[in-house]
Each structure stands twice: as structure tokens, then as C-alpha cells.
Amino acid sequence: MRQLLQVHCRLITDPPPPTVDPNLVAVKLISASAARAKPRYAALVFSLIPDPNLFVWNSLLRTLALHHLWPLALRYFNLLLASRHPLPDEFTFTSVLKACAGLTAVPDGEMSHAFVLKRGLDANLFVHNSLVDMYFKFGCPAVARRLFDEMPGRDVVSWNTLISGYSSCGDITAAREVFDRMPERSMVSWSAMIAGHARSGDVATARELFDHMSERNVVCWNAMIAGCTQNEKFLESIELFRKMLRSGCAPPNDVTLVSVLSACAHLGALDLGRWIDGFIKRRSMELGLFLGNALSDMYAKCGCIGEARRVFEKMKERDVISWSIIICGSAMHGHVEEAISGFHGMLQCGIKPNDITFMGILSACTHAGMVDEGLKYFNRMSDEFGIDPKVEHYGCVVDLLSRAGRLDEAENLINSMRVPPNVIVWGALLGGCRIYGDIWRGERVVQHILELDPGHSGSYVYLAYVYSSIGRLEDAAKCRLRMREKRVVKMPGCSWIEVDNRVYEFFMGDRSHPQSEKIYSMINALNLRMKLAGYIPDTTVVSQSIDEEEKEDALSMHSEKLAVAFGLISTKAGATIRVVKNLRVCNDCHEAMKFVSKIVEREIVLRDRSRFHHFSEGRCSCKDYW
């Protein structure tokens, strides 16, 4: 771009001779600006042409549509029509129809279609393909299909547009029927079908199609990797990425890296995430908005909030998602002051917060026990920013009040909610009842939960525990019997740990790992050393009706303890151990991790369902308030 500006400067200071058409120069400048992702500079060049011809108009419209500046594209198209010279042609309408599709501007699209028919341009293949795509984007597949069937001639783009259209609107059966009828299949056809099956949740069929391909380009790889990530098959997504790198036939682009970084964020695969960060630097890839957000989010969710801020500071462009990542990341680590300062910094930059931003602020206040501040931000959502609280925001505030023991206020808030409360909201209040021993309220809350979800395992476990603790053993037994009758199954605890660039998955009582004997031997050794240091197992978290010794054995098999034990036998002394868990860490595991961190003299970073716990020297960063 710097060189292009120099050339443009030379054209101004030393103009070409009058024989050179200024429109030709303008077309070249606009095209070069578009290629360097500077569409607004292209518009500035256009504004300096006294009498632009149709080639100049089309170059500008193509540039604006290409860079998704669709409102500007339609505005300039209206200016072209108002000028009455020159008349738009097929190249004009391919850009205009793309802008209408991008904005889902149905009236503009229909008027443009009428203009196409009036000008007799509907026989043009490119225009017809654009019309088919536009009507799919408008949610009118029947109109799109009729236009396709009426086409006098079709190319591979026509077929691909039909497949992509059906896939994007969820009609995979129709997409597959078109795919099977295609006279010739391109990479785009395969990619569209892979993406369609993956988007519908049928990852197995998507993978089957992918494996049948004789050759693959980056678009095909991206469709499959993104499909795995979107369907929470994060390990498979990472394995595909490694396979893509080994194949050497399609170097990953920013779309690939965004999907893989998302998988790394969910699994806590920090080493791979750092490798991708280095890959971006080595390739001198531009840290654009989507890639920068994905990289920052990965670091925040892998326990490196400082690195997340570094990426954030490097980004040339930031949006509400960029700020929300830092605010939510700070909240997850218990850095409430940084979260709040990030919120105010965002407002100073003129960026309006969204519902995710407020989830970050409210969770930060919850983790710090800042009740009054949390209520203040909750009220600001609707009063100042016009954002209606969602059920997740109510759940966060109920959790905030419940943890602080303000159970009456929490229950009153639930009863005054503008949206129907769900299991998570009532569950937040149940958590407060458990902490403060409010048995009668807890019993009432459980009834609400079971009405919404008869298979909610936590409610049965809570009731069984409460009844046992107050001597109502018969009622406790009835609870366990109801669980068996209704086949209520607790969600299995699952933990992930990354060692030597590979992610390992552990479930409670897991013995599938090749080093299981060493893992359980390490756990037994740790249990002995912890007890000598004063650790007492909290067997109250075990819901089964078994004796005390069996309860202790069950506690030692929790997935995060298995992951930590594996980390201890697989990494060098002093290395930080990072574990991600799908559920909230239980009281016993939390206490055990403090003892382990002191005994082995290592930092243990554990991310559970709601926040980060940094264990070091026998203490946790949450200060036992979680």
C-alpha cells in the first residue's frame, strides 16, 4: 500500500499526458486498492474522477461488495442510477445482487431483479448465479430453485450455489440430491457438502465425504476442521489440523487457524496455541479482527490472561468481541479490577457493550463477592444501554446474591424475572441453599428444578444428602430409588491435559490410559503424603450409599486428580500443570489441589466450568470463594 500511495502521488505531481484516459488510471488504482483491502481509499479515488465511465463504477461496486461494505455498494448503485449515465450492465448487477444478499435487503433485491429483467440481463450466467444465491440468502429456496431450473446454461458455480444454498438453510437432503446429480464436482461442491453435513451435526457423514476426496484444498480442510470444532469434537479438529500440516498440500490460512484456536481454547491446549501464534509470526500473517480475537480468546481460556492482553494490544482493529474477550477472561481469572477497567476503557473508545460483555462483568463481581457493584451493572444493562437481560444474566445475579447469603433477594429476583427461569437459575439458588444450610428453601427449589427437568441429577443428589444429614434416612433412600427408576445419570466428569503437544482426556475412574498403573500409583502416593500434611477427604460430596473407605476411593478417582497425576509423571519437575474440567470442581478436589501444589512444589492451573483456579504453595487464587 505504501508503494501504491507513492505511485498515486506521482500521478498527481506529474500527471500522465491528455491522451491517457483518466478512467483507465482510476480503474487500475481502485483495483489495486481493493487487492490491498483498502476499499475506502478506492472510494476516495472514485470521488476525484469528474466523469466516471461504467468501468470505474463497476470497479468501485465490485470492491465494496467484495469487502462486505454492502450499504455503501447500494448507495453508490443508487447514485449510478440517478446519474442516468451510463446504464448498468451485467457486471454492475453481480456486485449489487451480492450486496442485497449480504444485507438480506429483500425490497432492494427484488427491485434489482426487476431491473435485470427489464434490461434483458437474466440470460447472463453470472447474473443468474447471483440471483440464485441471493434468494437463498433471503430464505426463499423455492424461488432460488425455480431460477436454477430456468437457467438456459449452467456451470459448476451454478451447481455449487445450489448445494451451498440448500446446505446453509439446513436442507441437507436436497443438497445431497443435487450433489449426486452433478455432472462434474469441484472442490467447492465437496466443501459445501462437507460443511452442510457438519453444520447439521452429522460429522460422521461429513468425515466420510472428506475421506473419499482424491485431493483436497484449503477450503475442504477448513470445512471439515470447522465442522468438528462447531460440533464440539475438539480433539478430532486438532488431529485433522495436524494431518493437514503433514500433508503439505494446503497450507492453513486464517480461517483454518480460527477454528483450531477455538478447539485449543476449549481443551486448554496451550502448547499448540502457542505454536499457532509462532506460525502467524513466521508467516507474517496479518493479525486481523477474527484471527486476533481467536488468538486472544485462546490465551485467556488457557490460563494466560497476560498473553491475551498482549495480543489485544497488538491488534490494529478491535470490536465489542475483542473487548469482551479481555473482560470475560479477566473475570474467569478473578481479576475483577481489570475486568471493570476494561469495561470503562471500552466505553471511552466509543464501543457499546453487548450481552456477552455484561456476562463478563457480572461474573467478575460474582467471583469477587461484589454484590452491590454487580447489581449496579445489572441495572445499567437495560437502563443505560437498552439491553434486555437474558436468562444467563439473571442466573449470574441470582448466583451473586446466593453466594453472599442474600437468599430472599435471590428468590424474589427469580419470581420477578421478565423471562421464564430455567434450571440454571434455580440451580444457582440451590447452591446458596447448600452453602447456608437452608434446607426448607432448598427442598422447595428442587421441586421447581424437577418440574423443568425431571432427570436433573444434582437435585436428587442434593435431596439425598440433605435428608441423610438430618437423619431422614428413609427419604434419602427414596431419592436414590427414584434416581434408579428414572434412570437419572450424572454428567460424567471429564478433564483434559496437554503434554508434549498432545491432549489427553480423562473420565472419572478412567483406566483406559496406557500408563494407568503409574497414574494410580502416583495418586496413592499423593494421598498418603497429603494425609500426613493434614488433608481430610470431604466424603460428603459422594452421593452413593457406600462405606467411608469406598467413598475415599471414589474421591481419588475424580477426573481432575487423574489428569494432575498424569501431568506429574509426564512433565519435568517445576513445570506448571494445566487442566481443564467440564464441570465445577468439587470441594474435595479443590482442597486436595492446594495440598498437592505445596507437596510437589508446582503451580496447578485448573479451569472448571465457571472460572480459573491457580493453586500454588497450598493456596488458591479464588481464596476459597467460588
Q: Greater confidence, 170 or 124?
A: 124
CA distance 238 to 264: 8
Per-residue confidence (pLDDT) for residue 546, from 0 to 100: 67
pTM above 0.95, yes or no: no
Per-residue confidence (pLDDT) for residue 484, from 0 to 100: 78
Grade residue 469 by pLDDT with cuts at 50, 70 and 90: low
* Same domain membership, residue 464 and residue 516: no
Strands 577-581, 604-607: pairing kind: parallel
Nearest to residue 339, comparing CAs of 311, 308, 382?
308
Q: What is the DSSP letter of 17?
A: P
Are 96 and 61 a contacting pair, CB within 8 Å?
yes
Q: Give the Cβ contact number of residue 150 at 10 Å.
A: 10
Backbone angles phi, psi at 613, to 5 degrees: -125, 120
**3, pLDDT greater than 90:** no
**98, pLDDT greater than 90:** yes
All three cell numbers of 230, joined, read 462447531
SS3 annotation, 174-224: HHHHHHHHCCCCCHHHHHHHHHHHHHCCCHHHHHHHHHHCCCCCHHHHHHH
Per-residue confidence (pLDDT) for residue 486, from 0 to 100: 76
pLDDT tens, position by position, 476-526: 788 778 777 777 677 788 999 999 888 999 999 889 999 999 999 999 999
* Same domain membership, residue 593 and residue 511: yes
CA distance 459 to 450: 7
Q: What is the DSSP letter of 461?
A: H
Residue where a domain stops, chosen among 490, 524, 555: 490
Per-residue confidence (pLDDT) for residue 544, from 0 to 100: 63
Question: Cα–Cα–Cα angle for 129, 134, 135, nearest 5°?
Answer: 105
Grade residue 322 by pLDDT with cuts at 50, 70 and 90: very high
Nearest to residue 63, comparing CAs of 114, 90, 100, 98?
98
CA distance 256 to 203: 17
**545, pLDDT greater than 70:** no
Question: Which run of H or E residues covers position 520?
Answer: helix 516-532
Residue where a domain stops, chosen among 433, 461, 490: 490
* Same domain membership, residue 560 and residue 462: no
Per-residue confidence (pLDDT) for residue 378, from 0 to 100: 96
Question: Looking at 389-541, which runs of residues are DSSP E strands?
Answer: 494-499, 502-507
Backbone angles phi, psi at 318, to 5 degrees: -130, 140
Q: Is residue 481 part of a domain?
A: yes
Least confident range from 95-109, 144-158, 463-477: namely 463-477
Per-residue confidence (pLDDT) for residue 353, from 0 to 100: 95
Per-residue confidence (pLDDT) for residue 359, from 0 to 100: 95
* Same domain membership, residue 577 and residue 506: yes
Q: Is residue 290 part of a domain?
A: no
Grade residue 543 by pLDDT with cuts at 50, 70 and 90: low
The domain that holds 398 is classified in CATH as: 1.25.40.10
* Same domain membership, residue 533 and residue 504: yes
CA distance 448 to 427: 10
Q: Give the Cβ contact number of residue 590 at 10 Å.
A: 20
* Same domain membership, residue 450 and residue 504: no
CA distance 221 to 253: 10
pLDDT tens, position by position, 265-295: 999 999 999 999 999 999 988 888 899 999 9
**311, pLDDT greater than 70:** yes
Tell me the C-alpha to C-alpha distance, in Å, between residue 381 and each of 352, 393, 602.
Answer: 11, 10, 41
All three cell numbers of 425, joined, read 437459575
* Same domain membership, residue 614 and residue 509: yes
Rounded to 10 deg, the angle between the 156-168 and 125-137 helix axes is: 0
* Same domain membership, residue 590 and residue 537: yes
Backbone angles phi, psi at 499, to 5 degrees: -135, 125
Mean residue pLDDT of the chain comes to 89
Identify residue 278 by its one-letter amino acid code: G
Backbone angles phi, psi at 138, to 5 degrees: -80, -5
* Same domain membership, residue 547 and residue 464: no
Q: Is residue 574 part of a domain?
A: yes
**Mean pLDDT on 437-441:** 86
Tell me the C-alpha to C-alpha distance, in Å, between residue 57 and each of 23, 84, 124.
Answer: 10, 13, 19
pLDDT tens, position by position, 345-366: 999 999 999 999 999 999 999 9
Instruction: For cell 491528455, name the residue.
Output: 18
Q: Is residue 439 part of a domain?
A: yes
CA distance 111 to 108: 5
Q: Is residue 514 part of a domain?
A: yes
Bridge partners, 494 (sequence order): 507
Backbone angles phi, psi at 622, to 5 degrees: -80, -5
pLDDT tens, position by position, 367-381: 889 999 999 999 999
Q: Is residue 338 part of a domain?
A: no
Q: Greater confidence, 16 or 37?
A: 16
Q: Is 145 helix (H, G, I), strand (E, B) or coil?
A: helix
Question: Which run of H or E residues covers position 604?
Answer: strand 604-607
Instruction: For cell 455484561, name the residue.
Output: 358
CA dihedral for 174, 179, 181, 182, sign (positive or negative):
positive
pLDDT tens, position by position, 186-228: 777 888 888 888 877 888 888 888 888 877 888 888 888 988 9
**Mean pLDDT on 153-168:** 84
Instruction: For cell 449496579, name the residue.
Output: 376
User: Residue 626 half-sphere exposure, CB side, CA atoms within 13 Å?
Assistant: 25
Per-residue confidence (pLDDT) for residue 466, from 0 to 100: 74
Total domain count, the chain: 2
CA distance 349 to 343: 10
**57, pLDDT greater than 70:** yes
User: In sequence order, what are the residues at sequence separation of 6 or more whose Cβ sits closer than 8 angstroms to the Cβ of residue 421?
Assistant: 391, 394, 414, 448
Backbone angles phi, psi at 94, to 5 degrees: -60, -35
SS3 annotation, 216-283: CCHHHHHHHHHHHHHCCCHHHHHHHHHHHHHHCCCCCCHHHHHHHHHHHHHHCCHHHHHHHHHHHHHC
Residue where a domain stops, chosen among 490, 524, 558: 490
Grade residue 570 by pLDDT with cuts at 50, 70 and 90: very high
Burial class of residue 322 in the structure, from the number of CB atoms within 10 Å of its CB (0-12 exposed, 13-18 middle, 19+ buried): buried
* Same domain membership, residue 485 and residue 499: no
* Same domain membership, residue 514 and residue 407: no
- Which residue range(s) make up the domain with 610? 495-620
All three cell numbers of 622, joined, read 479464588
Per-residue confidence (pLDDT) for residue 457, from 0 to 100: 77
Q: What is the DSSP letter of 153?
A: S
Q: Is residue 606 part of a domain?
A: yes
Per-residue confidence (pLDDT) for residue 326, from 0 to 100: 96
Rounded to 10 deg, the angle between the 289-301 and 270-282 helix axes is: 150
Question: Which run of H or E residues covers position 548?
Answer: helix 548-556
Q: Is residue 478 part of a domain?
A: yes
* Same domain membership, residue 504 and residue 481: no
CA distance 262 to 233: 11
Highest-confidence range of 326-330, 426-430, 472-476, by mean pLDDT? 326-330
Ramachandran sector of residue 352 (left: φ over 0; alpha: ψ -120 to 50; beta: rest): beta
What sections of 14-170 are H helices per DSSP? Answer: 22-35, 39-47, 54-66, 70-83, 90-103, 106-119, 125-137, 141-149, 156-168
